[in-house]
Homo-oligomer: A and B are copies of this chain.
Amino acid sequence: MTFADKLRAAQTTTRSRVCVGLDPDPARLPEPLRDQPIAEAILTFNRAIIEVTADVACAYKPNLAFYEALGADGWRVFEETCAAVPDDRLVIADAKRGDIGNTARMYARAFYEGVDADAVTVSPYMGSEAITPFLEMEGRCAIVLIATSNPSGAELQDLIVDGEPVYRHTARLAVEAAADRPGEVGFVVGATRPALLAELRTAYPDVPFLVPGVGAQGGDAAAVVDAAGSGPLLVNSSRGILYASDGDDFAEAARRAAEAMRDALGDPSN
């Protein structure tokens, strides 16, 4: 099954474009979990979040930094978290790895073989060699940073080269790197600049877009969906879902937040 097929199936089943970002901050865990050892508490938390949102989210995106900050125990929690995601939902390893060749191939092994992730986020500063090693396993997708919504994203990404911003050059090299694997390279595009999202969608109608920044980071759901048109779209929310409540009702509150986001983003099969 290609990545595009799996994404379509997961979105059809859940009628949802929601990707739940699993960035468990030890300082923000719900109160009822705080007396457990930290790694155990995070695993309990992640499993509860996944279980309660699985029918309204098509994908989960663990952010590696939050696991690595806990050392080897954290890596174990990352593995168990990925294992808790239902097989027909997507796992996106949000790793933003930026290396090449043999090194990138080792990262691909860590994520595709180690935890059976469907996709990995990639930082493209080293060029197409940073992307191609993540395309070598069928059905897996390299999701490349193209135009990010953080304030300093524009410092490099918006520089103008031959009349075009750098992010357009990056998008082109990413798509060219995956020329024989259409649908298995994706773009990370921020939610805060819908015009830019629309511009990239026009140029790349079939590329899956992973859009963070809706909710806590200020992006507007309707504007994102409108700009991304009918092409494949995943919209990530982390804090808005994970920390909807820090009390006993944290799971129910997360579920309600994910459901509200699903509704705001509309049914992808329509």
Give the interface of A toward B (CB within 8 A): 23, 25, 63, 65-66, 68-69, 71-76, 79, 96-107, 109-110, 114, 123-130, 145, 148, 150-157, 159-162, 166, 169-170, 173
Q: Judge whether A129 and B151 touch: CB under 8 Å.
A: yes
Decide yes or no: A65 and B123 within 8 Å by CB, A71-B75, A79-B72, A173-B155 being known contacts.
Answer: no
Q: Judge whether A152 and B128 touch: CB under 8 Å.
A: yes
Q: Which 9 A-B pairs have the closest CB atoms?
A: A98-B123, A127-B152, A65-B106, A127-B155, A68-B110, A96-B98, A72-B75, A129-B152, A123-B123
Q: A98-B125, A159-B166 are in contact. List 17 more A-B contacts (CB 8 A).
A: A23-B103, A65-B99, A65-B103, A68-B110, A69-B106, A69-B110, A97-B98, A98-B98, A100-B148, A123-B123, A125-B125, A126-B145, A127-B154, A127-B157, A156-B166, A159-B169, A166-B166
A130, A169, A173 — which one has the most chain B CB atoms within 10 A of its CB?
A130
Q: Judge whether B110 and A125 touch: CB under 8 Å.
A: no
Q: How far apart sit A153 and B130, CA to CA, in the bound complex (Å)?
A: 9
Q: How far apart sit A173 and B159, CA to CA, in the bound complex (Å)?
A: 13
CB closest residue in chain B, given A124: B125
A236 to chain B, nearest CB (A): 13
Find chain B residues with CB under 8 A from A74 CB.
Answer: 75, 110
Q: Judge whether B100 and A97 touch: CB under 8 Å.
A: no
A-B contact pairs, 26 of them (CB 8 A): A25-B102, A63-B99, A63-B106, A65-B97, A65-B105, A68-B107, A68-B114, A71-B79, A72-B72, A72-B73, A96-B99, A96-B123, A98-B98, A100-B148, A100-B150, A101-B150, A123-B126, A125-B148, A126-B150, A127-B152, A129-B150, A129-B152, A129-B153, A159-B159, A161-B161, A166-B166
Q: How far apart sit A128 and B154, CA to CA, in the bound complex (Å)?
A: 10
Find chain B residues with CB under 8 A from A66 CB.
Answer: 103, 106
Q: How many copies does the complex hold?
A: 2
Find chain B residues with CB under 8 A from A152 CB.
Answer: 100, 126-130
Find chain B residues with CB under 8 A from A128 CB.
Answer: 152, 155
Q: Judge whether B150 and A106 touch: CB under 8 Å.
A: no
Find chain B residues with CB under 8 A from A166 CB.
Answer: 156, 159, 161, 166
Find chain B residues with CB under 8 A from A125 CB.
Answer: 98, 123-125, 145, 148, 156-157, 170
